[in-house]
Chains A and B, each alone.
Chain A
């Protein structure tokens, strides 16, 4: 026999199903939020000691070893980073700090790995999988690399690691005897295929220590084209720790880039590699998604033009939703009426 308790359960169950179907949330975020403070004037794009950074509250973000996809990192050396954000309505700057007793900024020898840090933003509404996104849920990744930072001052090559090395000869190039061949020594660039193909790793001059990438799941990490590399960076190691600044214009016209607006909320996550621990590729320490809120008044939204073909269609998606919700309210009212007629 139907009792009141059964009816209540059915009503709650059906209400839950409707809320889940229409993706109406009932729980708000409880996690920590990183605030991008709005400041006036120039941002400290290459000065981690600037007092302007003290206007942004640092958030400590815990990291854990990447144990999801091979190659795994079994034990993380970097357990947390602190992050601060500033923006001036034109540019955004992110300062990431973490403790690292060794300064690893060379990958010339095969046994050497660099220190590096990456920040990641979803390119969809909501939060895709926090490790490199997922199919249908791309992420934009900014990857700062210590060796790229060192390359800006002076491009590192084998001579830096092995000062007494001697080269017999290079085919198709004529460097001075015993010296390494530089790109300028090649008259035909096709003998330097990576450089000819525009591979960032082979570029003669580094303009930024940050690689701008896009990913949509494991194994899908893709470098954006050289002309779309628009993230700047600066890193400095001192007193057993790195301080790295990422910077970019707030908005970007590129579809594989995140665009920010004052007053809006986003998600951000972090990854750190400790070179002296042999960390590279998937062997890294990662964070979960962290809410990111940009200070400032949001700009007025553009008025959306009506979709083509929507004119003359009475049963729009919005109306269908309200009809369904109305029907559900009627069911609730009918249930409430039946409730009073049933025994306890």
Chain B
């Protein structure tokens, strides 16, 4: 963690703030009565959200640039840095040209390849524990399913097939299943031993989720889809446990200075069904962060022990 640039932390915080403001709080405003003071407050909140979303976007592009630079100087090959730069280039191109046709297919294929390359490296790690490798693999599966969900209709469009692909809904639901399990896997790998204070603190958002579900499940479903893309089709207790597990990782990692907490924040901010390219990048940065300690060992043997130790949780160290 010490060798990670500070702007990864800024990215995690900015992305989380963007998610909280622009995709959760401002969207909840539609449920409130709106006297002029509330409208003024939400106009200010909306502008702040735009600013923080731009900040998160800028930092995400910088993070991809840094990942490319870091990977370029490692022994891991040239595909990951090339794919990182390619993804940034596609992102800039699509600001001026709508992503359609084979260009869109190529972009999603590039992201899919990047996810697979990072996931493959994490799975073959000789530094990380088995549970950490499993967490990275489950997260890789979630991101692969997410990309497949987007690349399949894009390929149908490009090939001018009548469609729609019948199995796309299955892919999306698989992505939700893997995304939920990846939170649990990250918790198991990085924070399954925690202090009672952490457990109690993490219970607050989980209990809020349970209360919301019991009071108004329909509205919770809407907010969940708008906010994170989760459709809540699985048993609600699993989601409540997922919220608790993610909170434990965030709180534990904050105190242990582990990048796992940043990764979970980025996963939450990226969401299951990204509407914008930057949100798709956040999930990839999260996966890369979970395999980051290994990078250090492979490229900087002298500093690997320090870095790896900083990233290890109490339970696995």
Contact = CB atoms under 8 A, between A and B. Distances in A.
Contact of A30 (B150, B153, B164): B150
Interface stretch (A6-14, A145-153, A304-312): A6-14
Interface stretch (A66-74, A118-126, A166-174): A66-74
In the complex, which of the residues A20, A27, A35, A54 has the most CB atoms of chain B within 10 Å of its own CB atom?
A27
Interface stretch (B120-128, B189-197, B239-247, B269-277): B269-277
B91 A32 contact: no
Chain B contact residues (Cβ within 8 angstroms of A): what range? 35 or more
A219 interface: no
Interface in B192-245: 218-219, 221-222, 225
B130 to A, nearest CB: 33
B106 interface: no
B218 A59 contact: no
A176 interface: no
Given A60-B169, A265-B98, A72 B153 contact: no
Contacts of A32: 150, 153-154
Given A30-B279, A67-B218, A12 B55 contact: yes
Nearest to A67: B222
A173 to B, nearest CB: 47
B104 interface: yes
A32 B153 CA distance: 8
B40 interface: no
B14 to A, nearest CB: 9
Given A28-B277, A59-B153, A33 B104 contact: yes
Given A26-B58, A64-B222, A68-B30, A58 B164 contact: yes
Interface string A11-25: 011011101100011
B168 interface: yes
A27 B150 contact: no
Given A20-B54, A33-B100, A291-B98, A28 B276 contact: yes
A82 B163 CA distance: 9
A12 B277 CA distance: 20
Contacts of A185: none
Contacts of B161: 57
A299 interface: no
Contacts of A74: 218
Interface in A233-252: none
Given A19-B54, A68-B30, A33 B98 contact: yes
B95 A60 contact: no
Contacts of B53: 20, 27
Given A5-B6, A9-B10, A64-B225, A31 B169 contact: no
A157 interface: no
A10 to B, nearest CB: 12
B141 interface: no
Contacts of A20: 47, 50-51, 53-54
B58 A27 contact: no
A30 B95 contact: no
Contacts, number: 130
Pick the most buried of A53, A58, A65: most chain B CB atoms within 10 A of its CB.
Answer: A58
A140 interface: no
A27 B91 contact: yes
A293 interface: yes
Contacts of A291: 98
**Interface range for A:** 35 or more
A131 to B, nearest CB: 8
A75 interface: yes
B31 A68 contact: yes
A58 B62 CA distance: 37
A253 interface: no
A65 B50 CA distance: 28
A55 B59 CA distance: 41
A60 B153 CA distance: 9
A25 B277 CA distance: 11
B164 A60 contact: yes
B163 A58 contact: yes
B156 interface: yes
Interface string B161-173: 1111100110000
Interface in B39-60: 47, 50-55, 57-59
A12 B7 contact: yes
Given A33-B104, A35-B100, A59-B153, A28 B160 contact: no
B61 interface: yes
A82 B225 CA distance: 20
Contacts of B163: 57-60, 82
A16 B52 CA distance: 8
A30 B280 contact: yes
Contacts of A29: 94, 98-99, 275-277
Interface string A72-89: 101100001010000000
Interface in B95-144: 95, 98-100, 104
Given A16-B51, A30-B275, A56-B162, 11 more contacts: A16-B58, A17-B54, A20-B50, A20-B53, A28-B93, A29-B98, A37-B160, A54-B162, A57-B163, A67-B219, A74-B218
Interface of A: 5, 8-9, 12-13, 15-17, 19-20, 24-33, 35, 37, 53-60, 64-65, 67-69, 72, 74-75, 80, 82, 129, 131, 265, 291, 293
23 contacts: A5-B6, A9-B6, A15-B58, A19-B54, A26-B57, A27-B53, A27-B279, A28-B90, A28-B95, A28-B99, A30-B274, A31-B275, A32-B150, A37-B160, A57-B157, A57-B164, A60-B164, A60-B165, A65-B218, A69-B30, A80-B169, A265-B98, A293-B98
